[in-house]
A = this chain, B = another copy of it.
Amino acid sequence: MHDDHSGPDASAVLRDAGLRVTESRRAVLGALAARPHSSVDELFPLVVERMPGASRQSVYNALGDFTDAGIARRIEPAGRAGMYELRVGDNHHHLVCSRCGAVEDVDCVVGEAPCLTPSHSRGFTVASAEVTFWGVCPACAGAPVT
Protein backbone atom coordinates (compact mmCIF):
# COMPACT_ATOMS: atom_id res chain seq x y z
CA MET A 1 0.00 0.00 0.00
CA HIS A 2 1.49 3.25 -1.08
CA ASP A 3 0.69 6.74 0.05
CA ASP A 4 -1.28 5.55 3.03
CA HIS A 5 -0.78 8.64 5.09
CA SER A 6 -2.55 7.12 8.04
CA GLY A 7 -0.31 4.07 8.49
CA PRO A 8 3.30 3.72 9.55
CA ASP A 9 4.12 5.43 6.28
CA ALA A 10 2.87 8.70 7.74
CA SER A 11 5.95 8.87 9.92
CA ALA A 12 8.16 8.76 6.87
CA VAL A 13 6.19 11.53 5.19
CA LEU A 14 6.60 13.73 8.23
CA ARG A 15 10.25 12.93 8.75
CA ASP A 16 11.03 13.53 5.10
CA ALA A 17 9.34 16.89 5.33
CA GLY A 18 11.62 17.81 8.23
CA LEU A 19 8.88 17.62 10.83
CA ARG A 20 9.01 15.77 14.09
CA VAL A 21 6.84 12.71 14.16
CA THR A 22 4.13 13.13 16.75
CA GLU A 23 0.92 11.24 17.29
CA SER A 24 -0.98 14.46 16.79
CA ARG A 25 0.53 15.08 13.37
CA ARG A 26 0.07 11.47 12.36
CA ALA A 27 -3.59 11.73 13.29
CA VAL A 28 -4.10 14.94 11.31
CA LEU A 29 -2.25 13.51 8.33
CA GLY A 30 -4.39 10.38 8.46
CA ALA A 31 -7.61 12.37 8.74
CA LEU A 32 -6.62 14.57 5.82
CA ALA A 33 -5.72 11.55 3.71
CA ALA A 34 -9.13 10.07 4.47
CA ARG A 35 -11.02 13.26 3.76
CA PRO A 36 -9.29 15.65 1.39
CA HIS A 37 -10.65 19.20 1.10
CA SER A 38 -11.58 19.30 4.75
CA SER A 39 -11.59 22.24 7.10
CA VAL A 40 -10.26 22.24 10.65
CA ASP A 41 -13.78 21.75 11.95
CA GLU A 42 -14.28 18.72 9.77
CA LEU A 43 -10.90 17.23 10.58
CA PHE A 44 -10.99 17.82 14.32
CA PRO A 45 -13.58 15.13 15.15
CA LEU A 46 -11.64 12.57 13.15
CA VAL A 47 -8.46 13.48 14.95
CA VAL A 48 -10.14 13.29 18.35
CA GLU A 49 -11.56 9.88 17.51
CA ARG A 50 -8.04 8.57 17.29
CA MET A 51 -6.49 10.86 19.88
CA PRO A 52 -9.05 11.73 22.55
CA GLY A 53 -6.97 14.45 24.13
CA ALA A 54 -6.32 16.45 20.96
CA SER A 55 -7.02 20.16 20.84
CA ARG A 56 -8.37 22.09 17.93
CA GLN A 57 -5.30 24.29 18.06
CA SER A 58 -3.06 21.31 17.42
CA VAL A 59 -4.98 20.69 14.20
CA TYR A 60 -4.39 24.30 13.17
CA ASN A 61 -0.74 23.90 14.07
CA ALA A 62 -0.27 20.68 12.18
CA LEU A 63 -2.00 21.93 9.06
CA GLY A 64 0.00 25.13 9.13
CA ASP A 65 3.21 23.15 9.53
CA PHE A 66 2.25 20.77 6.72
CA THR A 67 1.55 23.69 4.43
CA ASP A 68 4.82 25.41 5.30
CA ALA A 69 6.69 22.17 4.78
CA GLY A 70 5.07 21.68 1.40
CA ILE A 71 3.23 18.44 2.08
CA ALA A 72 -0.21 20.05 2.18
CA ARG A 73 -1.95 22.85 0.39
CA ARG A 74 -4.58 25.22 1.70
CA ILE A 75 -7.43 26.44 -0.42
CA GLU A 76 -10.00 28.98 0.57
CA PRO A 77 -13.01 29.31 -1.71
CA ALA A 78 -14.79 32.64 -1.17
CA GLY A 79 -17.02 32.59 1.86
CA ARG A 80 -15.78 29.24 3.11
CA ALA A 81 -13.42 28.17 5.85
CA GLY A 82 -9.94 27.19 4.76
CA MET A 83 -9.63 23.63 3.47
CA TYR A 84 -6.60 21.42 3.11
CA GLU A 85 -5.44 18.69 0.78
CA LEU A 86 -2.37 16.52 0.44
CA ARG A 87 -2.24 16.69 -3.34
CA VAL A 88 0.57 19.15 -3.90
CA GLY A 89 3.12 19.88 -6.53
CA ASP A 90 0.79 19.65 -9.48
CA ASN A 91 -1.00 22.90 -10.10
CA HIS A 92 -4.51 21.51 -10.13
CA HIS A 93 -7.75 23.39 -9.61
CA HIS A 94 -11.12 22.98 -7.92
CA LEU A 95 -14.76 22.58 -8.62
CA VAL A 96 -16.88 23.91 -5.78
CA CYS A 97 -20.58 23.35 -5.25
CA SER A 98 -22.15 26.71 -4.49
CA ARG A 99 -24.93 25.02 -2.56
CA CYS A 100 -23.30 22.45 -0.31
CA GLY A 101 -19.65 23.43 -0.61
CA ALA A 102 -18.49 20.06 -1.91
CA VAL A 103 -15.09 20.27 -3.55
CA GLU A 104 -13.63 18.14 -6.34
CA ASP A 105 -10.23 18.26 -7.94
CA VAL A 106 -9.84 19.31 -11.54
CA ASP A 107 -6.64 18.76 -13.43
CA CYS A 108 -4.78 21.84 -14.51
CA VAL A 109 -6.41 23.47 -17.48
CA VAL A 110 -3.25 23.81 -19.48
CA GLY A 111 -0.06 22.48 -18.05
CA GLU A 112 2.28 23.80 -15.46
CA ALA A 113 2.03 26.85 -13.23
CA PRO A 114 1.11 29.47 -14.15
CA CYS A 115 -1.16 27.42 -16.34
CA LEU A 116 -2.73 30.55 -17.76
CA THR A 117 -1.30 33.89 -18.67
CA PRO A 118 -3.28 37.07 -18.14
CA SER A 119 -3.94 39.11 -21.27
CA HIS A 120 -1.88 41.95 -19.83
CA SER A 121 -0.07 41.46 -16.58
CA ARG A 122 0.28 45.16 -15.77
CA GLY A 123 3.88 44.73 -14.76
CA PHE A 124 3.16 41.99 -12.23
CA THR A 125 5.46 39.00 -12.02
CA VAL A 126 2.84 36.29 -12.18
CA ALA A 127 3.63 33.22 -10.11
CA SER A 128 0.46 31.18 -10.33
CA ALA A 129 -3.08 31.07 -11.59
CA GLU A 130 -5.72 29.78 -9.25
CA VAL A 131 -8.90 28.62 -10.90
CA THR A 132 -12.13 27.89 -9.08
CA PHE A 133 -15.06 26.52 -11.01
CA TRP A 134 -18.36 27.27 -9.31
CA GLY A 135 -21.34 25.10 -9.99
CA VAL A 136 -23.89 22.70 -8.56
CA CYS A 137 -22.92 19.16 -7.67
CA PRO A 138 -24.98 16.16 -8.81
CA ALA A 139 -26.39 15.58 -5.33
CA CYS A 140 -27.59 19.17 -4.96
CA ALA A 141 -28.94 19.27 -8.50
CA GLY A 142 -31.08 16.24 -7.77
CA ALA A 143 -32.21 17.38 -4.35
CA PRO A 144 -35.16 19.77 -3.97
CA VAL A 145 -34.18 23.40 -3.46
CA THR A 146 -34.42 24.07 0.24
- A residues sitting closer than 8 Å to B (CB atoms) are 74-76, 78-79, 82, 93, 95, 97-98, 104, 106-107, 109, 114, 116, 118-138, 141
Contacts and interface: CB of A to CB of B under 8 A. Distances in A.
A131 B134 contact: no
Contacts of A95: 118, 121-122, 124, 126
Contact of A129 (B82, B120, B123, B133): B133
Given A106-B118, A126-B133, 11 more contacts: A93-B118, A95-B122, A118-B133, A122-B138, A123-B137, A126-B135, A127-B135, A127-B136, A129-B131, A129-B134, A131-B131
**How many copies of this chain are found per oligomer?**
2
Contacts of A98: 127
Contact of A141 (B104, B106, B125): B125
A109 B104 contact: no
